[in-house]
Amino acid sequence: MTMAHKLIEKETVKLGSIYQGSTTLICPRCGGEYLHQRTVRIFYREEDDEMTATTTVREGLSATHLRPSAEVGNPSVRRDGMAIAFFCEGCSDKYDERTHLELTVAQHKGVSMLGWRYFVEVPDESGVRPTTVVIQSKNRQNPLT
Ligand SMILES: [Zn+2]
């Protein structure tokens, strides 16, 4: 059976235990508490603006780009937002960002709403079998001949 990825968006954030006086986050996918902060994205736009300034902070470096609002992944439907990516020791691959989770903050009608978004694997029911494409170059020599 082939597997596909389904995007899950949860509008609630569960908190975990108290650790050294602070509250921990709970992974919404596996329930684990060992989450590690990775990439942070900050989305800035005036209400319903067609363009959004997105600042990405990753591994100590930052970059800001102005892009169409529909394409940036802002968790806010109409205003500012923020997304903090985490990898979870229980269910993520540290080096595969597709397995990471995002804690989101969406500004909406004067309040800031927290949520999670992440992918889960589900059976692929499309009926489409994965194909392998082999590309051969005419100029490349076969090392076995
Ligand atoms: Zn997890």
- pLDDT, position 138: 43
Rounded Cα distance, 75 and 82, in Å: 7
Contact 113, 106 (CB under 8 A): yes
Count of other CB atoms within 10 angstroms of residue 116: 22
What's the gap in Å between 89 CA and the centre of ligand 1?
A: 6
- pLDDT, position 107: 93
Phi and psi of 30, rounded to 5°? Answer: -125, -10
Rounded Cα distance, 57 and 68, in Å: 19
> Would you write out the chain's pLDDT as a tens digit for each of its 145 residues?
788 889 999 888 999 999 999 999 999 999 999 999 999 999 999 999 999 999 999 999 999 999 999 999 999 999 999 999 999 999 999 899 889 999 999 998 889 999 999 999 888 877 665 554 444 444 444 334 3
- pLDDT, position 136: 41
- pLDDT, position 58: 94
Domain range annotation of the chain: 3-123
Contact 85, 100 (CB under 8 A): yes
What's the gap in Å between 35 CA and the centre of ligand 1?
A: 8
102 burial type by CB count under 10 A (0-12 exposed, 13-18 middle, 19+ buried): buried
What's the gap in Å between 54 CA and the centre of ligand 1?
A: 27
Count of other CB atoms within 10 angstroms of residue 97: 13
- pLDDT, position 39: 96
What's the gap in Å between 120 CA and the centre of ligand 1?
A: 11
What's the gap in Å between 10 CA and the centre of ligand 1?
A: 14
